[in-house]
Amino acid sequence: MSDGLDDKRARFEAQVLPHLDAAYRFARWLEPAPGAADDLVQEAALRAYRGFERLRGTNVKAWLLAIVKNCHFTAQRARHARDMVPLSEDTDSVQDPALVASDDPLKEALEADQTRALERVLLLLPEEHREVLILREVEDLDYRAIAEVLGVPLGTVMSRLARARAALRARYLEREAVS
């Protein structure tokens, strides 16, 4: 009996664990509250392991990201049902990368400012736009894999991505004009 479990574990580790970083990055965009993404990925990994025997197809990354999305949806529904507002955790213990010495601090500071501005604009977008942008531009999934993750038709992915890019561009330029 343990040989079967060992085999399942080995296959799971070989096929799924390489995609945990992608799952975490996606979770951070779905759940921006500190610690929530960790919980989301942990729940998704547990569900993935439980359902690993039912995995069909070869795109394990898309399968795992779909589980992350479903876990997010379940958690979101539960929060709304309890009418609970998550409190932010104390972030004083996190070291600010801007305080670490570097070779070109001005360049790094400008890049960090640009990254933070882009992240703020992304967070202003509707969730369906944020999801499709992260899956395409950050996780580099193809349209079919995104459709699989989101559970929508391929045409919907294409139109959402076009609308999301336009909305991101407009909000970013709008923000830059105000700055």
In whole angstroms, what is the distance from residue 89 CA to residue 117 CA?
22
Q: How far apart are CA 94 and CA 142, in angstroms?
A: 34
The rounded distance, in Å, linking the Cα atoms of 89 and 166 is: 33
pTM exceeding the 0.75 threshold for the entire prediction: no
- Render pLDDT for 109-141 as a digit per residue (tens, 0 to 9): 777 777 787 788 888 899 999 999 999 988 999
Which residue type, as a one-letter code, is found at position 144?
A: R
- pLDDT at position 22 is 94
The pLDDT of 96-111, averaged and rounded, is 64
Under a CB-based contact definition with an 8 Å cutoff, are residues 141 and 64 in contact?
Answer: no
Domains in the chain, CATH or no CATH each: 1-87 (1.10.1740.10), 102-179 (1.10.10.10)
Dig out the tokens for 9 from the structure: 């574990």
What pLDDT is stored for residue 91 in this prediction?
45
Structure tokens at 16: 């799924």
Read off the pLDDT of residues 18-28 as tens digits, 9 standing for 90 and up: 999 999 999 99
pLDDT of residue 92: 45
The sign of the CA dihedral 111, 140, 44, 7 is negative
Q: What's the whole-number mean pLDDT along residues 82-99?
A: 50
Contacting residues for 133 by C-beta, under 8 A, at least 6 apart: 122, 125, 161, 164, 165, 168
CB neighbourhood size of 134 (10 A)? 21
Question: Between 111 and 93, whose confidence is greater?
Answer: 111
d(CA 9, CA 5): 6
